[in-house]
Structure 1
């Protein structure tokens, strides 16, 4: 039987949990809500689809793509850390660094990339590829993307549940966490 069609449930569970921790859509809820408030709405399906395509493409072509354009994984991760840094500063300080975007582009940048399918996710996929079978990684990606779509689709309900003061507290707290993630990503990839 073709090795591609053999799925390993243990690998799938491990991969799914690793990607869930890296994507951290639960932790990104305040960012998603802030983006939705800024843009008017977020195209959940488009953001999920673009994120899924980016992850699958990077799973298969990541190393070659980075080599083709003369980048290494560390440089890619550092670039992503800067975008995440500025998003975090917006959340903490309440200042707009990014010009107002139309909803279509907000669903792609910064939501699909780098928040969902960011540098951390991409480098994790390259690491997973060296340890696990590709078909199991694909299933792990798809499971995570179904959950991401569910969260993105329900941000208005989550927002109503938390209320404005709850959102403000969460936004500041997760802004600091996002800032720490950006700094860690930067330090890890610069050797500082």
Structure 2
């Protein structure tokens, strides 16, 4: 019996070793499968990462190109702005009363200037002052015309209103010139 027990123990230890090897082989195969799966995932992530890097590189290049274009556009606009400033200064300094051409001639001796300020000169103080002087002269001329017409037709209500309107316009322009 003792012998049988020792044999059984030996058999059992051999079986345990075999089972141990089998269990370890099974564990190794499972771990190998997991590692292979992780390696496949890693390759997919690397491919995705390469695509994303390429996309961002294209975006960066596009931004560089766009920035260069905008820099060129800004430089061109600055140059244009400077040339317009020079042109505006030249225009403002060259505007005189001799350059104004009358648009409407009233019968007889009167000339009326009704030309508006060009849009490029709207923020120029000197041009506005010259324009206001011409406007004041035109309103004076209009008032003289209306008063002469009122003398000829004293009962005409529209002429009376026009006379009052030109008088108020003249007073307003004198006030503006005073300030």
Which structure is higher in RCO with an 8 Å CA cutoff and minimum separation 6?
A: 1
- Say yes or no: TM over 0.5: no
TM-score by length of 1: 0.25
Q: Which has the larger radius of gyration?
A: 2
